[in-house]
Amino acid sequence: MSIIAENIKYVYSEGTPFVTVALDNVNMTVEKGDFLGIIGHTGSGKSTLIQLFNGLEMPAEGKIIVDGVSVGEDKKKLKNIRQTVGLVFQYPEYQLFEETVAKDVAFGPLNLNLSQDEINSRVKEALELVGFDYNKIKDLSPFDLSGGQKRRVAIAGVLAMKPDYLILDEPTAGLDPAGRNELFSQIKKLHGKGNFTVVLVSHSMEDIAKLVNKVIVLYKGKIHMKGTPKEIYSQSEELKRIGLGVPQIAEIVLELNKRGFNIKNDIINVEEATAEILKEIRRRKNV
C-alpha cells in the first residue's frame, strides 16, 4: 500500500505563451507508515505535486497510483481516492463555512454518505485527535475561534474522512511559535497512532528536521535529493546553493567545523549537538 508517482510531468498554461513546466520526471513513493517531508522553494512544484496525489490536478504525463489504483482513470473513484488521501491545504481555515464546528467537520463524512451515527462518532474522534474537548467546542461558531484553533478544526475536517494518508501543505504558516509547536506535536502523535502515513510539505528546514523520517527535496520541478534527514542535512552546502537553509543547529556545526572543529556533520537537533560540541571541546582541551 503506497502512493507511487511515475515519471510525472505537469505543465501550467499549456498552449499559451505563459507555459511553464511545474514538474518534470518526478518518480517517488510514499510508503505506508512513512513520515515524509517534501521541501522546496516557493515555486519548486511541491504544492502541485500533492494536488496530483488526490486527483485535484492531473499530470500531463506519467501516472499516480494510490494503493494500486491509478488516479483519474475512473472519475467515479476520485471520491474514494480523496477519502484515502486527505489533503490539508495551506491556510485551511479559509475553507470553514458552517454555523458550528461540529457541522463543519461533518462536511467531509457527509459527502461520503455515511450514517448519522457514524458521522457523529467520526466528528467527535477527529476533534479529539486535534486536541479539542468535543463537548466544549462542538456548538461554537468556527468564526469565533482563534487562528490556531480554526486551523485545527479545518484539519479535523480532513481527519474525519479517515484518510490513510494525511498530506499537510505548510500546516504552520502564519501560526505563532506556541501554536506551531502544539500543532506539530499533535501531528507527531497522529503519526504515532498505528499505520498512519503523513506527508509534510514545508520550506522550513527546522520543522522538517524534527519530525520526518524521509525527506525529498524539490528544486525547479525535479527531485533534487532524497534520503533520511541526516543524509540530506549533511549536504548543507548543496542545500544552500539551491536557496534552502539548513536547520540553525546544523549551520552552527558547519561553521564550527570550518573553524577547525571536528564534529560529525549530520546533527539535526540541539541536544545531540550540545553533547557533540562539549565532547569536542573536552577533547581539544586534553590535547
> For binding to other proteins (CB under 8 A), which residues are involved?
13, 51, 54, 56, 79, 82-83, 86-89, 92, 94-97, 107-108, 111-112, 143, 157-158, 161
CB 96, min distance to other proteins, A: 7
To the nearest 5 percent, what fractions of the chain are helix, strand and coil? 45, 20, 35
Phi-psi region for residue 31, left (φ > 0), alpha (ψ -120 to 50) or beta?
Answer: beta
Asked if 186 contacts 126 with a C-beta cutoff of 8 angstroms, the reply is: no
Compare residues 85 and 187 and give the one whose CB is closer to other proteins.
85
Residue 171 CB, nearest distance to other proteins (Å)?
A: 13
As a whole number of angstroms, the distance between CA 142 and CA 140 comes to 6
Smallest distance from the beta carbon of 93 to other proteins, in angstroms?
A: 9
What is the CB neighbour count within 10 angstroms for residue 62?
17
Q: Which is nearer to other proteins, 109 or 247 (CB)?
A: 109
Q: How far apart are CA 163 and CA 9, in angstroms?
A: 26
Q: Cβ closer to other proteins: 157 or 229?
A: 157
Task: State the nearest-atom distance from the C-beta of 191 to other proteins, in Å.
Answer: 20
CB of 224 to other proteins, least distance (A): 26
Residue 21 to residue 26: CA distance in whole angstroms: 12
C-alpha to C-alpha distance for 210 and 63, rounded to whole angstroms: 31
> Which one, 51 or 120, has the nearer CB to other proteins?
51
> Mapping DSSP to helix (H, G, I), strand (E, B) and coil, where does residue 35 land?
strand
CB of 16 to other proteins, least distance (A): 8
Of 87 and 217, nearer to other proteins (C-beta) is 87
Cα–Cα nearest to 188, from 203, 172, 174:
172
How many CB atoms are closer than 10 A to CB 255? Answer: 11
Question: Which amino acid makes up residue 256?
Answer: L
Smallest gap from Cβ 122 to other proteins, in A, equals 12
Q: Which is nearer to other proteins, 96 or 217 (CB)?
A: 96
Look at residue 219 and give its three-state secondary structure. Answer: strand
Q: Which is nearer to other proteins, 143 or 281 (CB)?
A: 143
